[in-house]
Structure 1
Amino acid sequence: MSRRQFVGLAGSLATVLGLGLVGCGGGAGKGSAAGSAAAKDVKGAAESKKLVVGFDKSYPPYGFVGDDGEYTGFDLDLAKAVADKQGWEVKYEAIDWDAKDTLLNSGAINCIWNGFTMEGREDDYTFSEPYMLNEQVLVVKKDAGIKGWDDLAGKTVITQTDSAAQDVLEGDQKDLAATFATLDTIGEYNTAFMQLESGAVDAVACDLSIAQYQLAAKPDAYTQLDEPLSSEHYAVGFKKGDTKSADAVAESLKALYEDGTVKDLCDKYSSYGLSFDNWVLK
Structure 2
Amino acid sequence: MKKKIAIILGIALLAFLVIGASSAGFLDFLGGDGTATNDDNTFIVGFDAEFPPYGYKDDNGEYVGFDLDLAQEVCDRNNWTLVKQPIDWDAKDSELDSGSIDCIWNGFTINGREDDYTWSEPYIDNKQVVVVKTDSGINSLADLDGKIVETQKDSSALAALEGDNKTLADTFKDLTQVADYNTAFMDLETGACDAVAIDIGVAQYQISQKGSDQYKMLDEEISSEQYGIGFKKGNDQLKDQVQKTLDEMFEDGTVEKLAQKYDTYGVPGALIQK
Asked whether the two chains share a fold, i.e. TM above 0.5, the reply is: yes
Give the aligned partner of residue 202 of structure 1.
Answer: 194
TM-score norm. by structure 1 comes to 0.78
Question: What whole-Å deviation, never above 9, does each CA across 1:149-199 have from its counterpart, x for those lacking one?
Answer: 211112221111222212211221111111112212212111111221222
Q: 2 CA distance for matches of 1:257 and 1:179?
A: 42
Of 164, 167, 177 in structure 2, the residue corresponding to residue 175 of structure 1 is 167
Aligned residues of 1:253 and 1:281 also touching (Cα < 8 A): no
8 Å CA contact 1:137–1:227 kept in 2: the answer is yes
CA distance 1:110–1:195, shift in 2 (3 Å)? same
Secondary structure in structure 2 of the residue aligned to 1:228: coil
Q: State the Cα distance separating 1:136 from its structure 2 match.
A: 1.4
Which residue of the partner structure matches residue 267 of structure 1?
260
Q: How many residues in Structure 1 have an aligned counterpart in Structure 2?
A: 239
What is the RMSD of the two structures over their aligned residues, measured on CA atoms? 2.1
Matched, 1:186 2:178: yes
What is the one-letter code of the residue matched to 1:110?
D
Separation (CA, whole Å) in 1 of partners of 2:151 and 2:84: 28
> In the alignment, residue 247 of structure 1 is paired with which amino acid?
D
CA shift, 1:204, in A, is: 0.7
Q: Which has the higher contact order (CA 8 A, sep 6+)?
A: 1
Partner of 2:21: none
- Any idea what the Cα deviations from partners look like across 1:23-52, whole Å, max 9, x if unmatched? xxxxxxxxxxxxxxx8xxx78x9xx34321
Alignment match of 1:258 (pick from 251, 266, 272)? 251
Unaligned runs of 5+ in 2: 1-32
Aligned AA for 1:148?
S
- One-letter code of the match for 1:211? A
User: Is this contact kept in 2: 1:130–1:281, CA < 8 A?
Assistant: no
Structure 1 residue ranges without an equivalent (≥5): 1-37
Does residue 141 of structure 2 align to residue 163 of structure 1?
Answer: no
Q: Aligned residue for 1:6?
A: none
User: Which runs of structure 2 are paired with 1:95-134 in the superposition (5 Å)?
Assistant: 95-134=87-126
Determine which of 33, 42, 51 is the counterpart of 1:59. Answer: 51
Among candidates 234, 238, 246, match of residue 241 of structure 1:
234
SS in 1 for 2:247: helix
**Alpha-carbon distance in structure 1 between the residues aligned to 2:73 and 2:233:** 24
Partner deviation per Cα, 1:52-97 (whole Å, 9 max, x = no partner): 1111222222122233333222111110101222333322212222
Cα distance, 1:281 vs. partner? 4.1
Amino acid at match of 2:215: Y
The superposition leaves residues 243-276 of structure 1 with CA deviations (integer Å, 9 ceiling, x where unpaired) of 22222222222221222222221222234x1420
Is the helix fraction higher in 1 or 2? 2
For 1:191 and 1:67, the matched residues in 2 are separated by 18
What secondary structure sits across from 1:197 in the alignment?
helix
Distance (whole Å) between structure 1 residues aligned to residue 267 and residue 151 of structure 2:
23
> Aligned partners of 1:150, 1:65: CA distance in 2, in Å?
35
Larger radius of gyration: 2
Normalised to the residue count of structure 2, the TM-score between the two structures is 0.80
The one-letter code matched in structure 2 to 1:76 is L
Identity %: 53
Q: Deviations over 1:192-236 (max 9, x none)?
A: 112212222211111112111112222221111122111101111
Query: Are the aligned partners of 1:63 and 1:71 in contact in 2 as well (CA < 8 Å)?
Result: yes
Paired residues for 1:220-231 under 5 Å? 220-231=213-224
Q: What are the Cα deviations for residues 85-138 of structure 1, in whole angstroms up to 9, with x where unaligned?
A: 233332221222222211211111111111111111122110100111112111
- The answer for the alignment partner of 1:77 in structure 2 is 69
